[in-house]
Amino acid sequence: MGVKIKDLVHPIEIQVDKLSGKSVAVDGFNWILQFLTTIRLADGSLLTDRKGRITSHLDGLFFRLAFLLSNGVSPVFVLDGKAPKLKRQTLIERGNMRREAMEMAETAVTQEDKLKYLKRAASVNDDIIDSTKRLLDLMGIPVVQAPAEGESEAAFLNKEGLVYAVASQDYDSLLFGCRRLVRNLNITGRRKAQGKGFFVKVNPELILLDDLLSENGINHDQLVALALLVGTDYNGGVKGIGPKKALAIVKKDPVEKILSSYDFDTENNIREVFDYFKHPDVVPIEKVPVKEPDISALRKFLVDEHDFSSSRFESVVEKLKRLDNSLTRF
């Protein structure tokens, strides 16, 4: 879901080529779930191969990653580990929401409503994660396994200068201290406007943490406190307080006073939540691993095993091979 601070953020719209020659840490779970939500058949069902195995995520990831590689962007995929105990309440709520959405889909009268509820019910299982890892390995995309939250590990890679930016739709990476966040990198191009019958053009958005703090006249500790007032994955937020009101509060009161003065709608100790954003559980790596693609095995995996179009696959591979760009390694 992510923290809702959009009203305080003023992103810089960029073109993908702005990221050419740079590495980007991808919030893996965020992207996988996005593709499982959006890549569906007309009846709302997910793409599958002849054996009934889900392939929507493979379709989205293969073509999106190939697009990035063709534009000189070097992705580093960061995968979630075990969710921290602080997230227990949110995970329960999300599970309930998915079950309710599935029930609503089963009783939906219109196809539009059915699709809407099926999208809300999207979830990631072990098979999807395993097939994702296999795809990334064969494409030569480096994978970093986070011990806990992928967003915090991606932010660590960015803070340490191992990647240029973090790619995620959520703003949470900023709370973990990432210096540059790129949104819309997984949906760049045309997409259908929500609830509308037309398409809109979508470009990546670059958000700089220093600019966000400067524009709002706060420091990082105040940003985290602001997020806790609004609500995060670890707390529900204070009733009646949105981002603009929260901004006024953190400018007026010290962080310690804020943490002790409100009901943050959580079973957690709010000080522990604050400290987790400041010092999350990460794996301190010194260098992102370099991998080489295996085109023959990739072809077998996607075309032979998962029924991808042979012509579309070969078209992508040939395009990458023609590029004068060492990052692609195809």
Domain boundaries, the chain: 1-216, 219-281
> Which tokens sit at 297?
């095995």
253/250 Cα distance (integer angstroms): 5
Question: 189 CB contacts (<8 Å, ≥6 apart)?
Answer: 201, 202
DSSP state of 61: H
Q: How much is the pTM?
A: 0.90
Percent above pLDDT 90 for the chain: 82
Class of the CATH domain delimited by 1-216: alpha beta
The pLDDT of 283-291, averaged and rounded, is 88
Task: For domain 219-281, say whether CATH 1.10.150.20 is its number.
Answer: yes
The angle, 0 to 180 degrees and rounded to 10, between the axes of the packed helices 126-139 and 56-70 is 30
Write out pLDDT tens, residues 158-177: 999 999 999 999 999 999 99
The pLDDT of 96-115, averaged and rounded, is 91
Write out pLDDT tens, residues 256-270: 999 999 999 999 999
User: For tokens 């609004």, what's the residue?
Assistant: 230
144/288 Cα distance (integer angstroms): 8
Residue ranges in the chain assigned as alpha helix (H)? 28-38, 56-70, 88-107, 111-120, 126-139, 150-159, 172-175, 209-216, 220-230, 243-252, 255-259, 270-278, 295-299, 310-322
290 or 168, which is more confident? 168
Write out pLDDT tens, residues 276-286: 999 999 999 98
DSSP state of 170: S
